[in-house]
Amino acid sequence: MDALEIARWQFGITTVYHFMMVPLTIGLGLVVAVIQTAWHRTGKPEYLRMTKFWGKLFLINFIMGVATGIVQEFQFGMAWSEYSRFVGDVFGAPLALEALLAFFVESTFLGLWIFGWKQLKPGIHLACLWVAVIGSVFSAYFIIVANSWMQHPVGVEMIDGRPVMTDAWAVFTNNTALVAVPHTIFGALAVAGGFLLGIAWYHLWRRRRDGIDTTGADGKVIPGESTTIPGRDRADHSVWIRSLRIGAVVAMISFAGTALTGDLQGKLMFEQQPMKMAAAEAACHDGTGFSVLSIGNIGSQNCDDIVAVIEVPGILSFLAKGDFTTEVKGVNTLLPEYKENYGTHLPDNPIYGERAGQEIEYLPVMEVTYWGFRMMIGFGGLAALAAVVALWLTRKGTVPESPWLMRLAVFGILAPFGANAAGWIFTEMGRQPFVVAPNPDPSGIDQVFMFTAAAVSPGVSAGELMASLVTLTAVYAVLLVVEVKLLVKYIRGGVVSAMPELAHVPADENEDETPGSGGPGGAKPADDVLAFAY
């Protein structure tokens, strides 16, 4: 591998990894904020328990997103200095604004939330979480504005060979970003939905298995209490069944949201990056049919031997244009157009290193785009379907006794993560060979583009890049094991893992009647220096 390939692997690995943590942070943050709001309004103890439990898992995950996020910002300059020089005038601004207007808000107000349970009035404390969560949504907006500019450059003029921002409004309201942001937020909520569903299912299943919850003649649940294990009382049952239902509803809504926004995004992409979408379809010839399964030696980059095994006529046109008859351009039509517009060979410029003068491969790696696109939709759809089934199966207040269904629910947590990763891999690899894709709108800025081959740092050796690739991959692998281990420990601990006070209260039956003990009305800024301590 040469420097460029190593740098690309590194960016891919670190980004996909970072984006395991980020959707869970955004999605779970929103859910926890809603639950704490419910507690604030009703004072019901199960909402407090849910806030504490899901909040704890949220924090274990949040810190990994923070830690791996710094790598992302530094990486542009370290490994992609030519890219940074070329796009800095327009691309740097959303990054700087993300730090100034979103990261500060997120980190500061989350610190207040974690440590301020007693120092802040309940309403202020809740507001801090909302501010932090909204900060994370803003952070998603800014970084997607930056990414969307790479997908669809707008608001610039070429001056002295570099794109210079002339219209910030156009950059910050790029239509690519306006559909990608809600798509990403819904994708994040899908992750949170699956997370709640799987874990709550596990706890309900375990309560039945341990004989705490039983079912009556009508199949309805009869919640019980464990005399030996603290925290496994009737309120505990409410915690899990509510969590499960919230998770399922969130999963269904977010799938609908991703489908709608994804459809808009697809229609834009057929205009903005037709080659990406043709490659997503393995569509060699112009046509109207959507391929359900295509086989062939597609890695050969030769379109002739691809056979569409199952194809639904009209659907491709619908995805692209909203009707069933418009012919959508295939790879064989697009290739000559790209060659005519952007050249057949990389220019003889030292910026391209050894690749100077090489022929340009305009077709992205089709296995990746074709299957990435289908995995995104498939995993997303599966998770939503599972949510519907889960709601039905738990309509009588608990889960079936089957251990296999429980395992399915737990492993189902991974499906939305897979959908998110597949979607990003598809859209980033589908943009190749460009790092900044040309904008084919009749806006006159279609000469603003950059080949990935020109973007890497010329002064950085392959050895340095390899050192960082190996180091970061190893560090990330170790930390993934640690994070998952801790999550599992806290999940198995149940609510009491996040609420030590539950272990010291012998019975909390009275908790149901007197929310004052821990309810929002009763909590005052206390004298304790530390409401929470590391």
Partner 1 sequence: MELLPTIWFIAIAVLWTGYLFLEGFDLGVGMLMKIFARNNTERRVLLNTVGPVWDGNEVWLLTAGGATFAAFPLWYASLFSALYLPLLVVLVALIFRAVAFEYRGKVDTDRWRARWDWAIALGSFFAAFGVGAALALTTTGLPLNANGDREGGPFAWFSGYAVLGGVAVVGFSLVHALAFLALKTDGEVRHRARAWFVRLLPVLILPIAAWALSIQFLDGKPWTWALVVLAVAAAATAWVLARAGAEGRAFLALGAFLVLGTASIFGAVFPVVLPSTLDTAFDLTISNASSSDYTLGLMTIVAAFGLPLVIAYQAWTYWVFRRRVSTDSIPEAHSFLPAIAVKAFTTKG
Subset of residues 63 to 82 that bind partner 1, contact rule: CB under 8 A? 63-64, 66-71, 73-74, 76-79, 81-82
Residue placing its CB nearer to partner 1 in the complex, 127 or 268: 127
In the shown chain, the binding pattern of residues 198 to 217 toward partner 1, with x for contact by CB under 8 A and - for none, equals ----xx-xx--x--------
- Alpha carbon distances (Å) from 308 to 276, 289, 300, 317, 430: 18, 10, 16, 16, 20
Do 65 and 57 contact (CB within 8 A), yes or no?
no
- For the CB of residue 222, give the shortest distance to partner 1 in the complex, in Å: 20
| Residue in 13, 89, 257, 393 binding partner 1, rule: CB under 8 A | 89
- Specify the stretch interacting with partner 1 by CB under 8 A; choose among 111-119, 357-365, 427-435, 446-454: 111-119
119 touches partner 1 (CB under 8 A): yes
Least CB distance to partner 1 at residue 425 (A): 23
Q: In whole angstroms, what is the distance from residue 150 CA to residue 32 CA?
A: 33
Are the C-beta atoms of 438 and 341 separated by less than 8 Å? Answer: yes
100 binds partner 1, rule: CB under 8 A: yes
Minimum distance, C-beta of residue 431 to partner 1, in the bound complex (Å) = 21
As measured in angstroms, the least distance from the Cβ of 39 to partner 1 is 21
Here the contacts of 104-113 (C-beta below 8 Å, separation 24 or greater) are 104/135, 105/131, 105/132, 105/134, 105/135, 105/138, 106/132, 106/135, 106/136, 106/139, 107/66, 109/135, 110/59, 110/62
Residues 31-60 that bind partner 1 (CB under 8 A): 59-60
Contacts of 272 (CB under 8 A, 6+ apart): 151, 152, 176, 437, 439, 440, 441
Q: How far apart are CA 499 and CA 56, in angstroms?
A: 10
**Residue list 290-319, contact with partner 1 (CB under 8 A):** none
- Which stretch, 102-110, 293-301, 353-361, 385-393, contacts partner 1 (CB under 8 A)? 102-110
19 belongs to the binding site for partner 1 (CB under 8 A): no
Query: If binding is defined by CB under 8 A, does position 93 make contact with partner 1?
Result: yes
Task: Please pick, from the candidates 161, 211, 442, 459, the single residue that binds partner 1 as defined by CB under 8 A.
Answer: 459
- Check binding of 467 to partner 1 (CB under 8 A): yes
The single residue among 101, 259, 315, 335 that binds partner 1, judged by CB under 8 A, is 101
Q: What separation in angstroms does the CA of 225 have from each of 110, 337, 501?
A: 34, 70, 17
Residues between 229 and 248 with contacts to partner 1, criterion CB under 8 A:
229, 231-232
Query: Looking only at residues 354 through 413 of this chain, which bind partner 1 when binding is defined by CB under 8 A?
Result: 401-404, 406-407
CA distance 18 to 66: 9
Question: What are the phi and psi torsion angles at 310 (to 5°)?
Answer: -125, 125
Alpha-carbon distance 193 to 383, whole Å? 9
